[in-house]
Amino acid sequence: MFDIVLDTLLDALKLLPFLFLAFLLIEFIEHKLSKKSKKIIEKSGYLGPLLGGMLGLVPQCGFSVLATNLYITRIISLGTLISIYLSTSDEMLPILIMEKASFSIIFKILLIKFIIGISAGFIIDFILRKSKRKQKKKKEDYSICHDEHCHCDEEGIFLAALTHTLKTLFFIIIVSFVLNIIMTYLGEDYISKIFMKDNILSPFLASIIGLIPNCSASIILTELYIGGAISFASVISGLLTGSGVALLVLFKSNKNLKENLTILALIYLIGSFSGIIIELFSFLF
């Protein structure tokens, strides 16, 4: 057991500088582009799902929360919100870069999420457009820092990046420790069976994991994929449904519970069935 703990901590420490640099870059991008992104989304109109999907790919840890507040005030459409949720990957990108995943894998994941995101967004907006109603707009606080109470604006990007790094590193250590125990005592075959690797139903389970309103969801899914415990189709399903704390903000701030549950169901069904389709046509991926 001591060896497992030591190996887990050593592996985590090796990742620390890369993780910090990744979050430092994300903080820089977010502080530079957050206001511009907000203005672009507000003025997007019918092109909302396309622009939302494109901006969702940019590593901004608070963009899905910003989009949630914009939707609650009806500044953006449901299709745009869904597009952003599906294209956003939370902690996936920094972890793949840290783990030295190939560029082709990273590009493939981002491209698939982008295509599914904008496609779903345009379809949803097309269906709802005729019944669209004018609703009163009001101002909200769009800052991820406000929702996570990390005081990024006051602390500056270095301290904010360090805060996010330590939080993410904590989850990586916990997830890696559990996986190492299972791998040591039960073996890779057992963990693959738990997550039903290569089973047509595995995307349903991965999509549930993705819905966890925390960065731990994307960490778990990415680590499982890198470790070979889940398939490419399953990791896509989970990453499609993973939008960080955005769903938590949605349920906290939007008083329409029925609407929130509908959004949750849409995200889950799109993620699950997208994974099943990819699994069926795995020879193409």
Residue-number span of the structural domain to which 14 is assigned:
2-284
Residue 189 banded pLDDT, cuts 50, 70, 90: low
Q: How confident is the model at residue 24 (pLDDT cuts 50, 70, 90)?
A: confident
> Measured between alpha carbons, how far is 221 from 214 in angstroms, rounded to an integer?
12
Rounded to whole angstroms, the Cα distance separating 173 from 178 reads 9
pLDDT grade, residue 197 (50/70/90)?
confident
Neighbours of 242 (CB within 10 A): 36
**H/E segment holding residue 266:** helix 257-280
pLDDT at 107: 92
pLDDT at position 257 over 60 = yes
pLDDT in tens, 93-106: 777 877 778 889 99
Query: Which two tokens mark 228?
Result: 């070979």
Q: How many helices (H) and strands (E) does the chain have?
A: 14, 0
How many structural domains is the chain composed of?
1
d(CA 276, CA 135): 37
Cα–chain-centroid distance for residue 21?
Answer: 19
Pick from 75-79, 176-180, 246-250, 253-257: least confident: 176-180
- Tens digit of pLDDT for each residue in 157-173? 788 778 877 876 787 68
Q: CA torsion, points 273, 274, 276, 281, in degrees to nearest 10?
A: 150
What confidence category does residue 213 fall into, taking pLDDT thresholds of 50, 70 and 90?
Answer: confident
Average pLDDT score over residue span 56-61 = 69
Calpha distance 77→136 (Å, rounded): 13
* Gap between the Cα atoms of 202 and 190, Å rounded: 14
Average pLDDT over residues 27-40: 63
Q: How many CB atoms lie within 10 A of CB 151?
A: 13
What is the rounded radius of gyration, in angstroms, for the C-alpha atoms of the chain? 19
Average pLDDT over residues 115-137: 79
Phi, psi torsion values for 138, nearest 5 degrees = -145, 160
Q: How far is it, in rounded angstroms, from Cα 8 to Cα 17? A: 16
Residue 240 to residue 275: CA distance in whole angstroms = 9
Sorted by sequence, the CB contacts under 8 Å of residue 22 that are 6+ apart come out as 59, 93, 94, 97, 98
Residue of 118 and 187 predicted with greater confidence: 118
pLDDT tens-place string over residues 62-87: 678 778 877 887 888 899 999 999 99
